[in-house]
Amino acid sequence: MQAIIVSPLEHVAEVVQGHENAHVCGLLGPEMAHPPLPVPETRRLRLSFHDVAAPAPGFHPPAPEHVKRILDFAERWAAEGEGPLVFHCWAGISRSWAAAFIARCRLEADRPETDIARELRRLAPFATPNPRLVWLADDLLGRQGRMVEAIARIGRGETAFMGAVVRWPLADTC
């Protein structure tokens, strides 16, 4: 069964160890270097932007192109059907969980966004998906605010300095 794995940066190397078919999407700030990982370049996506909810001086917010690349990467992973899809950011709390939610909404297009968001909250009580990424994805996917509303309904996650590695299996129908 395919799965999405969400991880903080400090654990991503051990997460991909032994998963030669993993696809890895790193979402880090522009000032951070993406770590070397034993994953072919064709199975890596490195995105660089700050974890902000709105544009602000001195920060690089998530942009539509970032979300489009996440969506394309998730579809390519699903088509290959091997190994996990790994999302990581610095803490494994905001950007990576937004990307995982976005990927699930794309890959399980017929499933209600609220169901996906509730499952996210059950698996990761600390997760607080980046609202700008979710809003951009909602717009690109034509979800008419349903993705934004689903994340708003689960609310902010529990206070945490660092997230945990979480495996989120996909339904066999994806």
pLDDT tens string 64-117: 999 999 999 999 999 997 899 999 999 999 999 999 999 999 999 999 999 999
Distance of CA 127 to the CA centre of its chain: 11
**pLDDT (tens digit per residue) in 5-58:** 999 999 999 999 988 789 999 999 999 999 999 999 999 999 999 999 999 999
**pLDDT (tens digit per residue) in 112-125:** 999 999 999 999 99
Domains of the chain (ranges, CATH numbers): 3-169 (3.90.190.10)
Taking the C-alpha atoms of residue 97 and residue 102, their distance in angstroms, rounded to an integer, is 8
pTM: 0.96
Taking the C-alpha atoms of residue 24 and residue 73, their distance in angstroms, rounded to an integer, is 9
